[in-house]
Structure formats: structure tokens, C-alpha cells
Structure 1
Amino acid sequence: MFFPDSWVRLGRWLIIGSALLALAACSAVRVAYDNGPSLAGLWLDRWLDLDRQQEAALEPALQRWFEWHRASELPVYAERMGRWRERAAGEVDADAVCALVDETRAWSRRALDAALPAASELLPAITDAQWAHLQARQAERLAKLRAERLQPDPAERRAAALERALKQAEDLYGRLDARQRALLADSVARSPVDAARWLDERERQQAELVEALKRAQALAASERREALAALVASTFEATDPRQGWRRAWYRDGCEAWARLHNSTSPAQRERLRQRLLSYEQDLSALAAAAAN
């Protein structure tokens, strides 16, 4: 199932984009975003074990990206939060939820596209040891996800999936009643994609990503930029026939979220509205700082 915390992290497995996009949607958004270049640099260092020369080259690139993002993108996010807040009081259908997700995907793509010039310049400096470090971190993360999501007992696996979904839903709506919990449990049980399929696909995509970046690294500057742009496009356009399962999963998540939202009480929807208002205010304040 798709829930909002997943939407804001779409595209995260792309090396440059993942850290940058996540910062704009954390709970302490103003503090995190104001420290975005430093936090993004630390995140990249954990995954790539950067040397001092790479850190020095990365710092101004991240600063430029955040300046662009603050001035150009945050006003759009704030305006949309206001519109979503207005709609949260009523009912929604799956098409409306999918439209919302598509919009956040478009934001993610613009953010990644804006990072391409810096990524293209910095990519040639990544060493074989750093690629190995990245792959080791990916393997470590996958092992953790398998432990969390791939319990040997199917009943335990479903229970863990339901617990994650419940936590996400109650973070937005407050405590769900028994009927809503049953609705959520049914949505989890009928999901067209199981954890094993999702994890296997994640592992395959990560391996393909590293190989694609290594190939791009060896290209001339203009060709490297084109290769990275194509990599971003392939992430969002999903033309690979192997991705049919993901489209089914995506649609199922939209339908599940619409069912849950339409089951909520006025008080629960008001809680969601207040959460969106908080995001709107944070984003507006951050965007206003660009003019100072």
C-alpha cells in the first residue's frame, strides 16, 4: 500500500535525490530544511564515504540546489498543501488520490532534474572503493528490510505490514476505531504485491542503478549528463514491462487510501487538515526566507 510517508520519498534510491527530497517533508521541517545542505552532505557521506576533496566540491552544489528549491519549489508545495487541506474535509476517490501522488512524483522529478548538473560533475570522482561502500550499505539496508518485512510466518508478516500501515494512518488521522482497523487490515491482506516481490525488485533495481551510474561515469561530460537524465526519466516513466506489478500496486494503494479516508470522522479529518496546515505554514515560512 502507498501512504504519504512513502510518497514524499519517491525516487530516493537515486544517489543525489534521495537525501534532498526527504528533507522537505520531515516533521521538524523548518529546522531540517534550514540545515539541508549539511544534512544532505552527511547523508551522502554515509552512503559513499566521501573524501575531503569530494566534500568540498559537494558543499556549494548542495547550497545552490537548496537555494533553487527554496525559491522555486517550496511556494508550489505550500500552495498545494492549502488545496489539499480544503479537500481533506470531504470524500475522495481513487483517481483523486492517484492525482495527488502523481503531483508529488512530478515534484520529485523536477528536484532530481535540477540536481543533474552537479551529479554529472561529481560522478567521475567516485572511486571503486566508494562504489563498494555504497553496495555494502545497500546490502545492509536490504538485510534490515528483509528482517522487518519478510518474517517466516505469513501471519506475522501480515501483522507487521498492518502495524506499519496503522502507524502511518494514525499519524495523520489519530486513533482508528475497530471498523477502520478492519478496513485497513483488509487492504493490507488484498495488496497485489507481497514483501518478497517488493524486496527482490528493490534489490534488482539497486544493482541496475549502480551499474548504470558506473557506465555513465566513464562517458564524456555531455553524454554523461544525457545518461543521468535518461536514468531519472526511466524511474518516473516506468516503461519497463517488468514494472506492471508496480502500477497495480500503485492503483491498489490509491483505492485503499480513498477507502480509509472516506471512513474517517469529521474529527479525524480535522486532524488531517491541521497537519496539512502545519506543513503549509512551515513551507510558506521557508519559501519567504528566500527573499531575505
Structure 2
Amino acid sequence: MFVSQFFKKIFIVLIFIIISGCSIITAGYNRLPFLTLLELNSIFDLADEQSQKVRPVLDSWLEWHRANHLPRYVVKLEEWEKLVLQDLTPAQFCKEVEVIRTFTNEAVEKLIPALIPIAETLTPVQIQNWNKYQDERDKEFVENFSKGEKGEIINKKRLERSIDRAEMFYGTLSKSQKDALAKRLEKSLFNVEQVLPERKRRHLDALSAVKLVQSGAKPYPTLKTVWDRNQKSPDKKYEAYSEKMLQDGCSQLSELHNNMSLEQRKKAAQKLNGFKKDFESLIKP
């Protein structure tokens, strides 16, 4: 999970910045290289020399992202601002998911060079740190997404997180809307027992890639293969499950959105408009 984990850390920071409030997006976005290094350090405990090699590449990636992706985000947010006022089908949600996937894949391809100095120089101790970090994240994953206590179908943390995300865009949900969301989550195809082995496979895949790089394999294609196998699992059963889960997720989003009032949809449109304005301000540093 070397490539995917590295990349997700950047976007976890970015997403956190966005949902914390539009007023701090600008400051957070411009500090992404620094914030990303902090996150990477929490995984590997990087040496100063490793950080010094990675930082310039992260800076270059951010400038590429600013020039090439932010303008496209602005256009897409303008579209979403209008779409969110209407009822939306699962197919419409899945179409936008594919747009996000395209953005993600393009960004990863540009980000991989920042991973190469780390892959080439990871020490056995740093790999142990990485393994420990992954074990802790897997444990958290099970705690957050497994079935609830005393046989409850839905984990309370998962339900609370889903409500929080919905209210971030739509404002306060009514009791009936919360109940509807809970019932829909009960029918979700998401299954910890099926996802956890894939998480572990990705981590082992990433460890193998690091060994290959350190044995002389070409770094870029080796690391890109990790990302490609992350996006399309070599496990055919999991890949089929992943596709079903995607379709189910789009259906869930459609049901949630279509259950919102016009006022709630207007709040979502205002939120998207705020994001758009902040991204516009970031295009020129």
C-alpha cells in the first residue's frame, strides 16, 4: 500500500482542511508538502536526508496540481453546484465518481517520483515502523466498520460518521432522515471480512515493491504497479465485490440526496460554491 497510502495521506489532509471550513483551505493547501511530510514521518520515522530528498518533489507536485487540477476542480464544482439542487440517480453519482478517479490517477502518476527516494532508502527499522502503523490502522478499521456491539447491525461510529458527513453538506438532518440513513447502511454491501484481506494484500504488495526497488528494479513502473493493483485488484473475487460495492454506494448516495429538502440542497450548493471560490483563490499562489 506504499503508493496508495502515501497518496491518501495527502488527500486526507486536504479533505480535513476542506471540511474544517472554507476559511482555512488556502493556508492548508499551500502547506500540503509540509503536512504530508509530517504524516509520512508518523508512518516511517524518516531521516532528515530522506525528508530533504522528498520535499522538493512534493513542492513541484503541488505547483503542478495548482496549475493543472485546481482549474478543473472549479469547473466541476460549478457543475455540482447546479446538479445538487436536483434529484440524482445512482448512475449520475457513479459518473462523478469516475471523474474523481480520473483526477486521482493523474495526480498519483505525478506524485510517484516523490515516493522513489523513500522506497530506495527505507531501512529494516523503518519497515518495522510501517508494519506497526499498518497493523494499528487495520485494527482501527475493524473497530470502526465491523458490526456494532451486542449484535447490532450497524456500528455506531460508522453511523455517526455518515451522519456527520451528510450534515457537513446538507445541514442538520431530521430524525426521519437519520433513521432512513441508518436503515440504508444496514443494507450496505460493505463487509469488513471481505475488505480486510485486501488491505493486507495491498500492504504486502507494497512491501514487495520496495524490496524490488532496492534490488535494482526500475522505481517508477514498480511503484505504479502497486497503485494499479490497488485500483484493480488481482483478486478477481474481490474486484467483482468492489464493483458491486461501488454500485451500492452510488445507490446509497442517491437515496440520501433525494431524501433531502430543497433548503438542505441549497445549503449543499452553498457549500460547494464556497469550495469553488477557495480553489479559485488558490490557482494563483
**Alignment partners' CA distance in 2, 1:156 and 1:259:** 20
Contact kept in structure 2, 1:12 and 1:19, CA below 8 Å: no
The letter of the residue matching 1:201 is E
1:273 matched to 2:269: yes
Q: 1:13 to 1:171 in 2, by over 3 A?
A: farther
Correspondence for 1:167: 164
Deviations 1:178-219 (A, max 9, x none): 332232122101111223333343233223322333323323
Correspondence for 2:75: 79
Correspondence for 1:64: 60
Q: 1:20 aligns with which of 10, 18, 22?
A: 10
**Alignment partners' CA distance in 1, 2:67 and 2:46:** 28
1:243 matched to 2:239: yes
Q: 1:237 to 1:187 in 2, by over 3 A?
A: same
3-state DSSP class of the match of 1:98? helix
Q: 1:126 to 1:108 in 2, by over 3 A?
A: same
Superposed displacement of residue 234, structure 1: 2.2
3-state DSSP class of the match of 1:247? helix
Correspondence for 2:36: 40
Correspondence list, 1:1-150, <5 A: 14-25=4-15, 26-27=17-18, 28-150=24-146
Contact kept in structure 2, 1:91 and 1:262, CA below 8 Å: yes
Correspondence for 1:155: 152
1:228 matched to 2:223: yes
Alignment length (residue pairs) = 277
Percent of aligned pairs with the same amino acid: 24
Provide structure 2 residue ranges, at least 5 long, that are not aligned to the other structure.
19-23
Deviations 1:154-179 (A, max 9, x none): 31744333222112111111122233
**Alignment partners' CA distance in 2, 1:263 and 1:240:** 36
Superposed displacement of residue 238, structure 1: 4.2
Contact kept in structure 2, 1:158 and 1:188, CA below 8 Å: no
**Alignment partners' CA distance in 2, 1:80 and 1:127:** 42
Correspondence for 2:188: 191
Deviations 1:210-236 (A, max 9, x none): 23333233234xx22211222222222
3-state DSSP class of the match of 2:110? helix
Correspondence for 1:212: 209
Deviations 1:227-259 (A, max 9, x none): 122222222244541221111111101001001
Contact kept in structure 1, 2:73 and 2:279, CA below 8 Å: yes
**Alignment partners' CA distance in 2, 1:258 and 1:69:** 30
The letter of the residue matching 1:215 is L
Contact kept in structure 2, 1:75 and 1:284, CA below 8 Å: yes
**Alignment partners' CA distance in 2, 1:15 and 1:197:** 19
3-state DSSP class of the match of 2:188? coil
- Please say which of residues 96-105 and 15-24 is displaced more in the overlay: 15-24
3-state DSSP class of the match of 2:284? helix
The letter of the residue matching 2:221 is E
TM-score, normalised by the number of residues in structure 1: 0.87
**Alignment partners' CA distance in 2, 1:84 and 1:163:** 25
Correspondence for 2:21: none
Q: 1:23 to 1:29 in 2, by over 3 A?
A: farther
The letter of the residue matching 1:228 is L
Superposed displacement of residue 277, structure 1: 0.7
CA RMSD of aligned residues (A): 2.1
3-state DSSP class of the match of 1:286? helix
Correspondence for 1:182: 179
- Please say which of residues 130-139 and 210-219 is displaced more in the overlay: 210-219
Provide structure 1 residue ranges, at least 5 long, that are not aligned to the other structure.
1-10
Q: 1:35 to 1:54 in 2, by over 3 A?
A: same
- Please say which of residues 55-64 and 170-179 is displaced more in the overlay: 170-179
